[in-house]
Structure 1
Amino acid sequence: MYSAFQFTPTRLTAGLLMALASTSALAEADLMNRSTLTGDWGGLRHQLEDDGVKFTADYSGETAYNAHGGLHRSARYSQNIKLGVQFDLSKLYGLENGGKVQLSVNDRRGNSASEDLVGNRLPIQENYGGLYTRLTELSYERNFTPALNVKLGYMAMGNDIGVLDTGILCNFMNAGFCGHPLNMSGGSGWTNYPNAHLGARVKYDLSSAWQLRVAAFNVDPESNGNSSRAWHLGPKHTTGTVVPVELVYKLQAELPGEYKLGYYYDSSNVKRIGSSDEVAGRGGHYLVFDQAVWNDPSSPGRSLHAFGQYSASSKAASPFTKWYGAGVVLYKPFEGRPRDTLALGYGRAVPNPRSREVLEDAALASGQGFPDIDSAEQLIELSYGYQATPWLNLRPDVQYIIEPGAFSGANIDNALVVGLQVKASF
């Protein structure tokens, strides 16, 4: 006797197709709404985080095409992959205040549009540089009191110092905006991410609005961009210590703001520009801010922020003495796009006159003329951040570089660069 319903190959195939279609529809809906591309790993990721182990993975890819001026018409691509894990010792071992351990690894690949196509100083792709796999952070952080937080270990200086905590500056693709002012690293032992050094950072809340940050980092110039030192934490060629001190004010109002005033000093002895003499110590100061200037009362989340940057570094030893930056970022530019941003920025990087004199003297000695170029490289950047999903951001970008040869002493036409930045969290 046969059952009224039998599994035939045709029915089995149809059933599988229906199940797959239903699963695919659910998966697609979930894929568009989940916070990371790989999701919750069947609940394992959430469980691990509850137990004190949090995994992160991020990708950024930046393609830039030089459409006019500069050196060559072509495109360049660079990428950065960052893998991290954070251990919450309080959760892992049941401690009352165990602190956290952070481990991060970065891998960078690609080519530079600035070096190959334009010839300018400010990197068009902020994720270019140090093209190898390296340890970026191995640190321990703990709150010793409600007001005092200490972090120490192997880490990048710009994680906490010199940058705006709001993240407003990384609505741009050019490294002149995204991060701390670049003349800091050009004129001292301050290093750009993902270069890391041994150091310690202290945060102390003076009040609910005011905070003091102090740090000290080992200066080891030979390890910067050196792939053989990618996994070596120890200070092999120490020249000194760089100490930044930063005062932070966070305006708590209907139109909030963040202001940072900082000073840094590097104890290293270095050659004075244009001379064989050494200068003892290098220093600099900076001011950065992010201030909301408008909120739309009829559309929560829509706001306009203005930002500003000023930084000055050692005239004796820095080839890059001043940086000025300013711009605006509009959050939620369209009613149906609550997580998008529209950003416009202007920056001016001023070479050290002593560096210019060295270039002029070298040209004269070789019997060549020195071009009549401006006293600074300037940058205008317009970008739109399209948050396609919670884990995927697409950023079309346009940059106009004025006087690209200001730092090299080369007569290079102003450049128009169009690009696309892709950021994804896994």
Structure 2
Amino acid sequence: MPWRACGGILVWGLGGFMSVPGHAQTIPVAARDVWQADEIPASESQDTPSAAGGSLLGDMGGLRPWLARYGMTLGIQDVNELWGNATGGIASTSGDGRGAGTGASYIGVTMPDLTADLEKLMGLVGGTFNVSALQIRGRAITQDHLADFNPISGFEADRSTRLFELWYQQSFLKDTLDIKIGQQDLDTEFLISDYASQYLNASFGWPMGPSANLYAGGPSWPLAAPAIRLRYRPGGNYTVMFAASDDNPSGNRDSNVFGVTSNPADPTSQTMNDGSGTQFNMGTGALLITEIQYALNPRSGDRPGAVRHAGLPGVYKLGGYYDTARFPDYRYNMQGQSLGAYGGTPRWDRGNWLIYGIVDQLIWRPSPEGARALGVFVRATGNSGDRNIISFAIDAGLNLKAPFAGRTNDTLGLGWGIGRATSGVRAYDRARGALVQGNENHFELTYQAQVTPWMVLQPDFQYVLDPSGGLGNPSRPMRRIGNEAVFGLHTNVNF
């Protein structure tokens, strides 16, 4: 049977089920200055390339100034990536034994975005409206050659032209409380390390846990879902957020998403049921997520009334989610027998959860006014093992801002992450006599260079140790997929 990278849990093929990687990820905005993440609220931590001075097309013949008079900001961001796998991987022909496990791949995304300040536009104080779209092209290298738990790039997605987000936000109580309602991408605000956002591996964005375990990876790029989000920022250094969202942004049936009974070739297709992003799917269950943040030594721009502290700033987050939908059990089939030993259809269990903690901390700045600084991030997630691929995941890294003289806007980063296959997956592998999956480790060395005010160039190297925790190669199931050395070049242009 064909093999495909997907965001579901089970894919039928090679005589049984095998776990495969996630597919919907947060978008790592390369032009962003991660060192100012402590100075801005979480929901505003990704740049909108709207300023004429930082865009290739400037004022667009007067269009941008005209829009600004009415409180509207237009941004167009274009990302292009080239990737090549030098070692390991799987044959691109997916299981017939022919083709090479190495090769090149291209992916590109164009992202127009329009934001309106409704106070300027129509006098509605505290109101903001946003609409954005995606044009995705190319072919994902993870799908073709890698078979990792999470894609090698957060920009990998099915080819489509689609509506992305469409929401309205209203603030209250002198901006201490705001509510956002509409089609939303939750990974711009929840579960995200600000310092990790400069890395290209998808695991440093929307992490392995939700990406591999939820329906189509949950409401994360490039799939948004109907949701309501509340954020409260009382006096002091705290922020509290909560969101209730549809948990199935692709709109695929549960049997399609998890590859149990139908559509085994493409169980998590982002275009099968809703290629345009306009159907606003409401089907399987609700995803409820909450997060509390604490800002240590916040800078003056962190929130209204904040003061500048002399200490090194940091942001600490704790959170978790609960999904009310049903999920397939790795242990038992519908008759209560061992799924691995007897096969059949998995038993469906109600509910799924995950908890997480995140640290973003600046640890060295030789001069308070200088650009050079060193920051560290750590993020950990954990969840149940009977109905998921990933039981826990950790990622961490060191970022050096302004690593070379005269390159004040550049950042050098070294990151590491690990994902652990659940006890249910390992028991299933043992029962059916397959290679038992364990840990996948990924390492990333990246350099983000601000070439012009409107262009970022980012060479990248990644090494994946035991892809998908040592999954058997589809062409030779009793031989594990080889370790992968992957080279990439990422460009981000603001028009």
TM-score over 0.5 for the alignment? Answer: yes
Partner of 1:201: 229
Give the Å deviation of 1:122: 2.1
Partner of 2:6: none
Give 1:70's aligned amino acid: G
Q: 1:131 to 1:333 in 2, by over 3 A?
A: same
Q: 1:127 to 1:232 in 2, by over 3 A?
A: closer
Which consecutive residues of structure 2, in runs of 5 or more, have no partner in the other structure?
1-51, 91-100, 252-267, 298-308, 335-346, 474-479
Local SS of the residue matching 2:68? helix
Q: 1:133 to 1:234 in 2, by over 3 A?
A: closer
Local SS of the residue matching 2:170? strand
Q: 1:51 to 1:407 in 2, by over 3 A?
A: farther
Give the Å deviation of 1:246: 0.3
Give 1:357's aligned amino acid: A
> Can you list the C-alpha shifts for 1:321-358, whole angstroms capped at 9, x where unaligned?
11111110011111201100000001001111211332
| TM-score in terms of structure 2 length | 0.74
Give the Å deviation of 1:75: 0.9
Give the Å deviation of 1:374: 6.3
Q: 1:111 to 1:235 in 2, by over 3 A?
A: closer
Give 1:244's aligned amino acid: I
Partner of 2:202: 175
User: Is the CA contact (8 Å cut-off) linking 1:313 and 1:322 kept in structure 2?
Assistant: yes
Q: Does 2:388 correspond to 1:318?
A: yes
Hey, what's the Cα distance between the residues in 1 that align with 2:126 and 2:452?
35
Give the Å deviation of 1:236: 4.4
Give the Å deviation of 1:125: 1.8
Match of 2:212 among 181, 186, 189: 186
Partner of 2:329: 272
Hey, what's the Cα distance between the residues in 2 that align with 1:49 and 1:230?
32
Q: Does 2:115 correspond to 1:86?
A: yes
User: Is the CA contact (8 Å cut-off) linking 2:395 and 2:417 kept in structure 1?
Assistant: yes
Q: 1:78 to 1:161 in 2, by over 3 A?
A: same
Hey, what's the Cα distance between the residues in 1 that align with 2:164 and 2:364?
37
Q: How many residues align?
A: 383
Hey, what's the Cα distance between the residues in 2 that align with 1:331 and 1:34?
22
Hey, what's the Cα distance between the residues in 2 that align with 1:232 and 1:74?
31
User: Is the CA contact (8 Å cut-off) linking 2:467 and 2:481 kept in structure 1?
Assistant: yes
Local SS of the residue matching 1:359? helix
Hey, what's the Cα distance between the residues in 2 that align with 1:244 and 1:230?
26
Which consecutive residues of structure 1, in runs of 5 or more, have no partner in the other structure?
1-32, 365-369
Write 1 or 2 for the structure with the bigger share of helix: 1
Local SS of the residue matching 1:358? helix
User: Is the CA contact (8 Å cut-off) linking 1:287 and 1:311 kept in structure 2?
Assistant: yes
Larger radius of gyration: 1
Hey, what's the Cα distance between the residues in 2 that align with 1:409 and 1:403?
10
Hey, what's the Cα distance between the residues in 2 that align with 1:60 and 1:407?
31
> Can you list the C-alpha shifts for 1:74-102, whole angstroms capped at 9, x where unaligned?
1111111111111211111133x150110
Q: Does 2:389 correspond to 1:302?
A: no
Q: Does 2:80 correspond to 1:61?
A: yes
Local SS of the residue matching 1:220? coil
> Can you list the C-alpha shifts for 1:380-403, whole angstroms capped at 9, x where unaligned?
100001110111001110101100
Hey, what's the Cα distance between the residues in 2 that align with 1:236 and 1:385?
37
User: Is the CA contact (8 Å cut-off) linking 2:149 and 2:208 kept in structure 1?
Assistant: no
User: Is the CA contact (8 Å cut-off) linking 1:78 and 1:125 kept in structure 2?
Assistant: no
Partner of 1:13: none
Local SS of the residue matching 1:48? helix
Give the Å deviation of 1:233: 4.4
Q: Please list every run of at least 4 consecutive aligned residues from structure 1 whose deviation after the TM superposition is greater than 6 angstroms.
A: none
Hey, what's the Cα distance between the residues in 2 that align with 1:418 and 1:257?
31
Higher relative contact order structure (alpha carbons within 8 Å, sequence separation ≥ 6): 2
Partner of 1:377: 440
Local SS of the residue matching 2:86? strand
Q: 1:280 to 1:337 in 2, by over 3 A?
A: same
Q: Sequence identity of aligned pairs in percent?
A: 29
| TM-score in terms of structure 1 length | 0.85
Hey, what's the Cα distance between the residues in 1 that align with 2:168 and 2:326?
30
